[in-house]
Amino acid sequence: MIAPAIADDADRVVALWQSCGLTRPWNDPHADVARALSGATSTILLAREEGHTIGSVMVGHDGHRGWLYYLAVAPDRQGQGIGRALFTAAEDWLRDAGTPKLQLMVRSDNDAALGFYHAIGLTRQDVIVLGRFLTADGST
């Protein structure tokens, strides 16, 4: 049910992210897919059913910390354990890569995501995330 994405999956993955409200105007989701699939330390894992993409998670690591992005489940399939299965698959992928810690970022107003991650055992970390766009238009 869960397997790595390939470049031909890009449009379906982006459509899923859009249906879940995960994209932002300043990020090019197609570029995010391309970067994740072309990196040696990243991938996108997909949940599929009967040829349809019903969930995704982007996973990667920097050698010490593993990061999860775009954990998404089709709105009509949420609450069925697919998100938990994707999270576990991403966690296993990081563990197999020898990554000692998993982290992710959630927008502070996303109560549903915060509730989901709390329910599967994640805890808030005592860190502050700082950032800066490296492009003039703020895109990734």
pLDDT for 53 beyond 60: yes
For the chain, the maximum distance between any two Cα atoms, rounded to a whole number of angstroms, is 42
Identify the band that residue 76 occupies on the pLDDT scale cut at 50, 70 and 90.
Answer: very high
Q: At which residue do the structure tokens 């899923």 appear? A: 16
Give this prediction's pTM.
Answer: 0.91
Alpha helices in 1-140 (DSSP H): 10-19, 29-38, 82-96, 111-119
pLDDT for 140 beyond 60: no
- What are the phi and psi torsion angles at 137 (to 5°)? -90, 0
pLDDT tens track for 19-43: 999 999 888 999 999 999 999 999 9
Mean pLDDT of the chain: 93
State the pLDDT at residue 129. 87
